[in-house]
Amino acid sequence: MLKSQAFFNPLDGDAMQGLHLIADLYHCDCDPAVLLDRNVLETRCVNFCKEAGLTPLGAYFYQFTHDDGEKAGVTGTVVLAESHVAIHTWPETNAVTLDVYVCNFSRDNSDRARAVYQHLIDLLQPGEMIEKDVMRGELPTSV
């Protein structure tokens, strides 16, 4: 039988429920180093995850460069025991795409995901943004 529920209950056997926070950020008014420097962005992302009570397992951030060697942008992921944070910067347009996804298998991590997400929004200071909150792994209600 198919069912839908607001939060995962491990005793019910529905193992995939999670929260995916997605944002496209425009006109970011942050310190340019946040958009340009891999080390700066990686450190902030990992620290925000730890401060929120999530468990970073590893991180990979890539530094893009222009032909002349100047820093050009960053793409990175923090892999969490609870899932991941992914971020991509376009300093030439002050834009960022952001994904924070957590599963809620052994506990509800939604508030932790929202804390990381909000710290990153506060850091990046977008002038405009498009946001989506997606509940993942919910089965459709049977007819």
Q: Which residues are catalytic?
A: 83, 88, 103
- Coil/strand/helix, residue 18: strand
Question: Phi and psi for 78 in degrees, rounded to 5?
Answer: -105, 115
Question: Phi and psi for 61 in degrees, rounded to 5?
Answer: -125, 135
Print the SS3 string covering 45-110: HHHHHHHCCCCEEEEEEEEEECCCCCEEEEEEEEEECCEEEEEEEECCCCEEEEEEEEECCCCCCH
Structure tokens at 22: 């997605």
Q: Which of 26, 11, 19 is nearest to 101 (CA)?
A: 19
